Amino acid sequence: MITQTQLYTEIHQQPEVLQRLLSQERPALEQLAAALRERQISHIVIAARGTSDNAARYAQYVLGALNGMLVTLATPSLYSIYQRAPQLGGTCVLGISQSGQSPDIVAVLAEARRQGALTAAITNQPDSPLARAADHVIALQAGPERAVAATKTYTAQLAVIALLSAMLADDAQQRAELAQLPQHVAATLEHGPRIAPLVERYRYMQHCVVIGRGFNYATAFELALKLKELTYTIVEPYSSADFLHGPVAVLEHGFPVIVVAPSGRMAAELDQFVQTIAARGAEPIIISDRQELLAVAQVPLALPAVPEWLSPLVAIVPGQLFALHLAHTRGYSVDHPRGLNKVTETI
């Protein structure tokens, strides 16, 4: 039964993980925020791979939009293979990794420390090589994650970034909104039983695209990754703007397009996007809290209303469940996808 799988269990552990993280990691994040202020750092360089790289995309939007920080993504092979590290003075170099094991990510932080940059690690393994290379360590507090596909560690990573943003802004409203997150995720999980019968329509789906923009650009990438890992479908993530600059040509009648479109500044643009793809015969699968948009979806995946900056922590949950149930419908192992290991070490 799907409810007995590790992946199902870990998806449903997310509210308690978030609650634990928000209460226990506050002191560590306060120290990191204080160090950033003391050194007047406004540029963060993030080293990450896979799911953690998608969390880094979220950081680009949150820390950029709410804290005025420049957030860029490192190129780990410059450090580990080419041995041509850029100058990192005046930056904070942040490594994000569930396991903290991958040598290329560790190499970025080690070089940053050698250059005298402030370093920090976000990891579920606070005794890992990545953690040892960092000045500041924030633990994800997710407990063991045994399913190969990351779920609870991803939302925990987003929560760390969101809490850091609130600390840097010293914003009481942000902190209050964050405190409500666990119950919003729990409310989203209550829709899970409705998703299982909907995925039958996509049993033989071979390709699709996932669209997100703004804060949920990261959600598009993470949901596409989950569908690739668990269902072996060819899935490409795009912003709605990028998709219209060429890739829209792939659309044909019945082509599945997953659109992540919660309330916020991108709502009007995404409404127009849905109209455009529907006019071309595509089939919209919509993740949103807006009833008027869900009403035009072939498959509506409902969300509770949350502030836009926190919506990625909630919007990914229906995507996780969609991928879980589609993989199960196809008869695939959701805990051990083919060809994958829990810890991937790259150089």
The DSSP result for 214-252, as a single string, is GGGHHHHHHHHHHHHHHH--EEEEE-HHHHHTTGGGG--
For residue range 19-64, what is the model confidence (pLDDT) as tens digits? 999 999 999 999 999 999 999 999 999 999 999 999 999 999 999 9
Instruction: List the one residue out of 113, 151, 150 whose CA is nearest residue 130.
Output: 113
Residue 310's pLDDT is what?
Answer: 98
Q: What is the pTM (predicted TM-score) of this model?
A: 0.96
Cβ atoms within 10 A of the Cβ of 23, count?
A: 10
Residue 192's pLDDT is what?
Answer: 87
Report the chain's terminal Cα–Cα distance, integer Å: 38
- Whether 2-179 and 184-329 share one fold: the answer is yes
Listed by start position, the domains of the chain span: 2-179, 184-329
Instruction: List the one residue out of 44, 74, 47, 75 whose CA is nearest residue 61.
Output: 44
SS3 state of residue 208? strand
Neighbouring-strand partners of residue 288: 302
For residue range 75-129, what is the model confidence (pLDDT) as tens digits? 988 988 898 989 999 999 999 999 999 999 999 999 999 999 999 999 999 999 9
Q: Rounded to an integer, what distance in angstroms lies between the CA atom of residue 226 and that of residue 185?
A: 18
Which positions ≥6 away from 212 have C-beta within 8 Å? 218, 219, 220, 221, 223, 237, 239, 240, 259, 260, 315
Which positions ≥6 away from 209 have C-beta within 8 Å? 224, 235, 236, 237, 238, 243, 247, 250, 256, 257, 258
Which residues of the chain fall short of a pLDDT of 70?
342-347
Residue 253's pLDDT is what?
Answer: 95
In which element (H, E) is residue 21 found? Answer: helix 14-24
DSSP-derived pairing of the beta strands 283-288 and 256-260:
parallel
**Topology classification of domain 184-329:** Rossmann fold (3.40.50)
Q: Rounded to an integer, what distance in angstroms lies between the CA atom of residue 47 and that of residue 241?
A: 26
The answer to whether 141 touches 21, Cβ cutoff 8 Å, is yes
Class at the top of the CATH hierarchy for domain 2-179: alpha beta
Neighbouring-strand partners of residue 238: 211
In which element (H, E) is residue 153 found? Answer: helix 152-169
Residue 342's pLDDT is what?
Answer: 62
Per the document, the length of the chain is 347
Joined together, the tokens standing for residue 236 give 């490409």
